[in-house]
C-alpha cells in the first residue's frame, strides 16, 4: 500500500495543488544537490511525497477526488492530518507569536515547560492559530505549527468602509468583535491603503490572514500577548458566523478564502 501511494501522479491526473508542487520540486531537484531545509521540522513537501493517509478524507485527497479546501469542508469529514492542509493550501507561512517558559517547583526539583503560540496563513484568506505546551522548545514549536494548520479557517474580507472603492476586499466587511479572557478586540472596516491600525500581535495575525486595512479598538488586558492574538483570531472566526445576502456580498465586495492566483 505504501509503495502505491508514493508514486508521482500522471500528467493527465488532477491532484491537489500541494501534491502537484511537491512532486514537481522532486523532479526539478533530482539532479541537483539537496539544500538544507529552512525553519523548524521536516519539509512539508517531502512529507507529502511520503504521505500514507490514515483517514478517509486524506485518501480522497491523495487520489484526486478532492483538490480544494472548500470541497474538503463540504464533505463534513474532520481534518485530522496536517498533510491535508499542506496539500490543499500550499505555501503556508508560519509565525511564532509567543514563547513562554513556565517553571514549577516539585518534590523532585524544578520543572521547566514551554508554552508556544503559533500562527500560520497564506496571506490570502486562510489563517490558523494554536497554542501548545511541551518540555522542549523545538518540539513544542513544531507541535504548535501543526496544530495551527489543523485549525485553519477561511477569512471573509470585504470593503465595508464608505471610503473604499471597487475591487477585491482588503478589509473586514462589517464591525466584528472577538474575545479571549478579559481581552476584547473589535475590528472595523477601513478604506483601502489605510493599513492595519492595531497592535503588533494583532497585526501578525491579520497579515497572515490577508487583511491589509482595518481600524480596531480594544478593551481589557491588551498587554497579554496570547489573549490579544486569540481575540483577533476569534474576531475573524465571527465573520464567518454572520449570514450575508447576495446583494450585500456584491455591494461590499465580500470574498471568502483565496482571491489572488
**Assigned C-alpha cell, 10:** 500522471
Do 188 and 123 share a domain, yes or no? yes
Name which of 80, 61, 75, 69 is nearest 22 in CA terms. 61
**Rounded to the nearest 5°, which phi and psi values hold at 100?**
-115, 140
pLDDT tens for each residue of 43-71: 888 888 889 999 999 999 998 899 999 99
User: Three-state secondary structure along 186-232?
Assistant: EEECCCCCCCECCCHHHHHHHHHHCCCCEEEEEECCCCCHHHHHHHH
Cβ atoms of 71 and 61 within 8 Å: the answer is no
Cβ atoms of 235 and 229 within 8 Å: the answer is no
The series of mean pLDDT values per 10 residues for the chain, 261 residues long, is 57 80 70 48 82 93 91 92 93 93 83 93 93 93 95 90 73 93 94 91 94 93 92 94 81 70 44
> At what angle are helices 200-209 and 225-241 packed, to 10 degrees?
40
Do 100 and 202 share a domain, yes or no? yes
**Containing domain of residue 49, as a range?**
2-88
pTM of the model: 0.85
**Assigned C-alpha cell, 77:** 469529514
CA gap 221, 226 in Å, rounded: 11
CA gap 66, 212 in Å, rounded: 30
How many domains are there within the chain? 2
Name which of 107, 116, 113, 183 is nearest 145 in CA terms. 116
Do 26 and 139 share a domain, yes or no? no
Do 177 and 153 share a domain, yes or no? yes
Do 79 and 206 share a domain, yes or no? no
pLDDT tens for each residue of 92-101: 999 999 999 9
Do 201 and 215 share a domain, yes or no? yes
Do 102 and 69 share a domain, yes or no? no
Beta strands in the chain (DSSP E): 93-106, 109-121, 126-134, 153-154, 156-157, 176-180, 183-188, 215-219, 255-256
Last residue of a domain, one of 44, 67, 88: 88
Cβ atoms of 9 and 15 within 8 Å: the answer is yes
Cβ atoms of 116 and 99 within 8 Å: the answer is yes
Amino acid at each position: 500500500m505504501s509503495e502505491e501511494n508514493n508514486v508521482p501522479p500522471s500528467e493527465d491526473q488532477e491532484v491537489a495543488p500541494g501534491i502537484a508542487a511537491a512532486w514537481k520540486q522532486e523532479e526539478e531537484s533530482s539532479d541537483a544537490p539537496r539544500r538544507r531545509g529552512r525553519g523548524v521540522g521536516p519539509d512539508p513537501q517531502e512529507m507529502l511525497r511520503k504521505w500514507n493517509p490514515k483517514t478517509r478524507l486524506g485518501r480522497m485527497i491523495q487520489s484526486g477526488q478532492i483538490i480544494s479546501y472548500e470541497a474538503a469542508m463540504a464533505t463534513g469529514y474532520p481534518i485530522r492530518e496536517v498533510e491535508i492542509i499542506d496539500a490543499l493550501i500550499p505555501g503556508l507561512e508560519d509565525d511564532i507569536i509567543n514563547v513562554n517558559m513556565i517553571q514549577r517547583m516539585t518534590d523532585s526539583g524544578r520543572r521547566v515547560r514551554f508554552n508556544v503560540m503559533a500562527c500560520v496563513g497564506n496571506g490570502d484568506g486562510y489563517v490558523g492559530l494554536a497554542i501548545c505546551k511541551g518540555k522542549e522548545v523545538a518540539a513544542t514549536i513544531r507541535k504548535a505549527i501543526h496544530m495551527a494548520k489543523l485549525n485553519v479557517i477561511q477569512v471573509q474580507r470585504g470593503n465595508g468602509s464608505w471610503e473604499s472603492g471597487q475591487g477585491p476586499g482588503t478589509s473586514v466587511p462589517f464591525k466584528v468583535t472577538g474575545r479571549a479572557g478579559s481581552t476584547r478586540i473589535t475590528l472595523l472596516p477601513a478604506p483601502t491603503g489605510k493599513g492595519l491600525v492595531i497592535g503588533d500581535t494583532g497585526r501578525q495575525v491579520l497579515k497572515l490572514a490577508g487583511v491589509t486595512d482595518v481600524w480596531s479598538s480594544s478593551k481589557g488586558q491588551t498587554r497579554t500577548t496570547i489573549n490579544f492574538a486569540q481575540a483577533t483570531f476569534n474576531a475573524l472566526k465571527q465573520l464567518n458566523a454572520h449570514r450575508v445576502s447576495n446583494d450585500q456580498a456584491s455591494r461590499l465586495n465580500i470574498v471568502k478564502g483565496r482571491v489572488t492566483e
